[in-house]
Structure 1
């Protein structure tokens, strides 16, 4: 997986070496086959970039600090080798997810059937030029050791926080789907990243290294939100299924657990806890996401959500196995009238 670097002022090097452009041509019915996927394995593998350069991931520093002492219990030699100095990772570890409901256990099981030739090819592509391929990534037992190392990393460092991460990713997918319905594909693509745009029936992604290439996306294009990319990513090889990994909305609140002050007027009508929940729902969220962000149980949050929905202040939308809540038009008017749109920290939510 190759990183598309964030925008910056051009330098002399940029003039000499123009950005490569990856193009996906949405031919025929593929124009209507832009889909979304969420991959726990992608997130796990891409998070290894923070081991090499934690300063690139300031929003994740609370998690990085908390989990770093656990690295001594892991196969750090293998896990560190999976990320090259360019922060590339092997494509077969970041395969296109089949849906927003993909489970880590399913993805890990599929790794066992990856052909040895594919492993060698993708590892070599991760370490181009003069950078040598680490010895730990070579040999017949390399794949088995990768799978074991990733499973241990998941269980020890990732699984406890995955519900919180997944909630942010699912909320973004819902938002993008609404963008497509209301404003069309071109608007949605333009909002993904300043390096992604739609030109006619072709989606263009600018990258910082390598040759330009174009391929038809006749089987559709999958968009994958990720908390562990710097801007946008595409596969290193044009032979991989058309995929764009991008940054989701709401990521800045991922590790927040502190509260937002509410307007006294609104709190006087609804109570401080329900008023606080309405403020937090500026973007769609599940009860699990809200509970994790507030540090309380989903049961406590659900009681308030049911009351707000019964009053016509929330709209509930089922997305796969989750229910996402968003503010209704009435709630938006109420918040605007009360002046309760200020940012800050949010009070804890207790059961009514």
Structure 2
């Protein structure tokens, strides 16, 4: 277990954000690990395309499994655009770029794409930024509206938990691998041990759909990436079938709606995924919300429904 210094006074500096670059880098981690929850069609399509971005692949898929910290700056605002983050990356000091890129190949023979950073860091970084844009267009952009909507709903839910219960409850329920004892955040990895200083920096929590079952702690800038609720269903080609007992209790259609809403969906999303008329989907959502099994959070112009703790409990019986 790793203990990361975080006391009661640090709660005042806690903030949430959703980062395009965090999603992008985490997606590479998930692809590299062949995570079972990824949609196979997505993995096959994106994996095949990697060969067309040799600098991107060399930097993010090196032998040490390392991603340079400068690629994931802590967002300055809650909902940055990709352009905002790429501007921060482009402004990184050249010596920092070189040191971090080369570190990913320590002890290994680096390809020409990596060695170019040592000789012409500005030109190499420009190539990398172009390939990041291309990867984003292929791997992230088609999923972006749902990734952003799920992150927004996750943030709203966590704020409500903190208000209704306590900041400790909010942090303790973020992720199974994460806890807080009042003095330190506990990253529960059985084969990793150590303690990190807080360094007086505020902590930014980044709900990241592609984080999957992992929690990623970034000590530079001090941020944590974790998956929002329902991350495994974001790329599922079909809704999971509800349990027989849940169907008997609620009826098959409402049970399917409740099962689907492990991740937030709008009325239109539910109608499309389940092949329902919008009015029928709205009726079932309203009934489930009135029963206390769903709640709704607004994300821009969309109203997103997702399960309450009671709804989670029923679907997990």
Same fold (TM over 0.5): yes
SS of the aligned residue for 2:73 comes to coil
SS of residue paired to 1:60: coil
Which consecutive unaligned segments of at least 5 residues does structure 2 have?
A: none
Q: Could you say if the C-alpha distance between residues 328 and 225 of structure 1 is closer, same or farther in structure 2, counting changes exceeding 3 Å? A: closer
SS at match of 2:44: helix
Out of 75, 79, 83, the residue aligned to residue 105 of structure 1 is: 83
Cα gap change, 1:275/1:50 in structure 2, threshold over 3 Å: closer, same or farther?
A: closer
Which residue, out of 297, 316, 319, partners 2:296?
Answer: 316
Structure 1 length normalisation: TM-score? 0.69
Q: In the aligned structure 1, how far is the partner of 2:263 from the partner of 2:87?
A: 34
Work out which of the residue numbers 82, 88, 98 in structure 1 matches 2:60. Answer: 82
Tell me the equivalent position of 1:149: 131
Deviation, 1:221, is: 1.0
Work out the CA distance in 1 between the residues paired with 2:248 and 2:175.
Answer: 38
Answer yes or no: is 1:66 the counterpart of 2:45: yes
3-state DSSP class of the match of 1:78?
helix
Is 1:114 matched with 2:92? yes
How far residue 152 of structure 1 moved from its aligned partner, in angstroms, is 0.8
**SS class of match (2:210):** coil
Partner of residue 346, structure 1: none
1:110 deviates by: 2.8
From 226, 235, 248, the equivalent of 1:246 is 226
Q: Distance in 2 between matches of 1:296 and 1:228?
A: 27
Question: How big is the shift at 1:144?
Answer: 0.5
CA-CA distance at 1:312 after TM superposition: 4.5
Is 1:223 equivalent to 2:201 in the alignment? no
1:58-104 deviations in whole A, cap 9, x for unaligned? 111422023334345x2134324323333220111112224442222
Which range is displaced more, 241-250 or 274-283? Answer: 274-283
Structure number with the bigger relative contact order (C-alpha 8 A, sep ≥ 6) is 1
Cα RMSD for the two superposed structures: 3.8
Structure with the higher fraction of residues in helix conformation: 2
Structure 1 residue runs without a partner (length 5+) = 1-18, 344-352
SS at 1:146's partner residue?
A: helix
Corresponding position of 1:33: 13
Cα deviation 1:9-41 (Å, max 9, x = unaligned): xxxxxxxxxx5x35233474x322322111111
Secondary structure in 2 matching 1:215: coil
Please give the secondary structure, in 1, of the residue aligned with 2:49.
Answer: helix
